Amino acid sequence: MTTPQPSWCRGALVGARLVACCALLLLGAPLAAARAQDASVDDLHLVIGVVDSPPLAIPHADGSWSGLAVDLWGRIASELGVRFELRPITLEAAGQALDDGTLDAAIGAISVTPQGAVQHDFTQPFLAAGLGFAQRRDADLHWAAVWQTLVSSRLLLILAAIAIGVLLVGTIIALVERHHHSTDFGGRLRDGVSTGVWWAAVTMTTVGYGDATPKTAPGRALALLWMFVGVIAVAILTATVTSVLTLSHLRGSVQRPSDLLHLRVGAVPGGAGGDYLADRHAPFVSYPTYEEGLRALQAGEVQAFVANIPSLRYLIHQTWHGQLETSPIVLEAVLYAIGLPQDSPLRERVDNALLGIVHQDSWREVERRYLGREYH
């Protein structure tokens, strides 16, 4: 015969069953949600916006695409096992398309900027590059560049050092030689120092007219030392003038980033170049693609075109070699990533795949193929 259980015991068993059920529900909900999220990602046919921005995204005549960002996305999609289609889009429209859910991701010259972060999300960056600008190649050296060279601090410092050296050596040689009976540095002290300075100048420049020469042993020792110093000083002066003139010629009309604000400049809105100019309240001419902006630069419609340096170098080498050039001035550092909608279920999985890919040795070869060996 079964002994009836007390009422408090039956209540305890019922409570234990309720607690167990609640625990199963709480533990099972996240797992079910994670499985549902994974299934939703795997089952979707993703629409990926691609921005024409060589060498990150390069369009071909047959409708296919290549480039650093395109190859990266192909590897990520293969690792995640998702299907996708590439849809061409302008850089300016990419942010809005991510914001309204038209695109599942955007690739190309998608730079990580505060303006972009307001509209959408980004993956981890896969490329660190510089923001620069292109300008027309000018074979002529302008007088403005010559004047800037003459008043440069480097040149003035060297000239001042040479002048002090000439005065010092000229004075010493006059004091050493003035008491010799046949010296060219005799007479009044002022005349002797004047002759000494003249001798120091012509000796340093290796001219050596011979109208004044030291006769004493200490004077000749000083003259020998000064000849070697003079050769080195003239070499340094020549190298400095050449380097400053060359750098001025390479930089053209823009010697510093602030000079851009006074020129007629072009950029692609929505990109790093457009954001850089907009942040500084600098007006610029908008172009939908880098190619159109560089074509306008070559035609003289603008004086400079601001964009990421890898794209400028690639396009100029491909189409405008010898006509346009990339300035050596770097405006700022830029990070490039894949654009995603806010709260995208792809974010974590894409980030994990991206970080694994960009740390592979094989990815170094992909970067060198598109960016050149000088990138590393």
Please write the tens of the pLDDT for every residue from 43-61: 568 999 999 999 999 999 9
User: In the chain, how many H helices and how many E strands?
Assistant: 13, 13
Q: Which two tokens stand for residue 177?
A: 């030689």
Per the CB < 8 A criterion, the answer to whether 203 and 230 are in contact is yes
Distance of CA 202 to the CA centre of its chain: 46
Where is 136: in which H helix or E strand? strand 127-136
218-225 average pLDDT score? 87
pLDDT band at 40 (very low <50, low <70, confident <90, very high): very low
DSSP structural state of residue 53: B
- Categorize the per-residue pLDDT at 167 as very low, low, confident or very high, splitting at 50, 70 and 90: very high
As a whole number of angstroms, the distance between CA 87 and CA 51 comes to 9
Q: For the domain with range 254-334, which CATH number is right: 1.10.4100.10, 1.10.579.10, 3.40.190.10, 1.10.10.10?
A: 3.40.190.10
Q: What are the Cα distances from residue 324, in Å, to 68, 136, 286, 296, 299?
A: 24, 4, 19, 11, 11
Q: Longest C-alpha distance within the chain, in Å?
A: 147
Contact 334, 111 (CB under 8 A): yes
CATH 1.10.287.70 residue spans of the chain: 144-251
Residue 140 has pLDDT above 60, yes or no: no
Query: What is the percent of the chain with per-residue pLDDT over 70, rounded to a whole number?
Result: 78
CA neighbours closer than 13 Å in the CB half-sphere of residue 349? 19
Question: Residue 58: in which H helix or E strand, if any?
Answer: strand 58-59
Distance of CA 282 to the CA centre of its chain: 20
**What mean pLDDT comes out for the span 206-211?**
66
2-16, 21-35, 204-218, 339-353: which is most confident: 339-353
7 burial (CB, 10 Å; 0-12 / 13-18 / 19+) is: exposed
Can you tell me whether residue 17 is helix, strand or coil? helix
Q: Omega into 55 within 30° of 0, i.e. cis?
A: yes
Whether the CB-CB separation of 56 and 109 falls below 8 Å is answered with yes
87-110 pLDDT, tens digit each: 999 998 998 999 998 999 999 999
Identify the CA nearest to 245 among candidates 148, 174, 124.
148
User: Which residue ranges does the chain devote to CATH 3.40.190.10?
Assistant: 44-126+337-375, 254-334
Average pLDDT, integer, range 10-39: 43
Q: Give the CATH fold of the 144-251 domain.
A: Helix Hairpins (1.10.287)
- Model confidence at 146, pLDDT cuts 50, 70, 90, reads low
What is the rounded distance in angstroms from the CA atom of residue 17 to the CA atom of residue 32? 22
pLDDT tier for residue 67 given thresholds of 50, 70 and 90: very high
The residue that leads in pLDDT, 247 or 13, is 247
Q: Give the chain's length.
A: 376
- Give me the pLDDT at residue 322, please: 86
Residue 216 pLDDT grade (very low, low, confident, very high; cuts 50, 70, 90)? confident
**The CATH number, out of the four listed (3.40.50.300, 3.20.10.10, 3.40.190.10, 3.40.50.970), of the domain defined by the range 44-126+337-375:** 3.40.190.10
pLDDT tops 70 at residue 113: yes
Q: How confident is the model at residue 302 (pLDDT cuts 50, 70, 90)?
A: very high
Predicted confidence band at 182 (pLDDT cuts at 50, 70, 90)?
low
Q: Is 310 exposed, middle or buried (0-12, 13-18, 19+ CB in 10 A)?
A: buried
111: which DSSP letter?
A: B
Contact indicator for 299, 280 with CB cutoff of 8 Å? no
Which of 38-52, 83-97, 257-271, 359-373 shows the lowest mean pLDDT across its residues? 38-52
Radius of gyration over every alpha carbon of the chain, rounded to an integer in angstroms: 36
Is the per-residue pLDDT at 18 higher than 50?
A: no
Of 115, 104, 106, 110, nearest to 125 by C-alpha is: 110
Instruction: Tell me what pLDDT residue 16 has.
Output: 44
Task: For residue 294, give the nearest of 317, 253, 321, 324 by alpha carbon.
Answer: 324
Joined together, the tokens standing for residue 369 give 């193929």
Answer whether residue 127 shows pLDDT above 50. Answer: yes
Structure tokens at 172: 């010493």
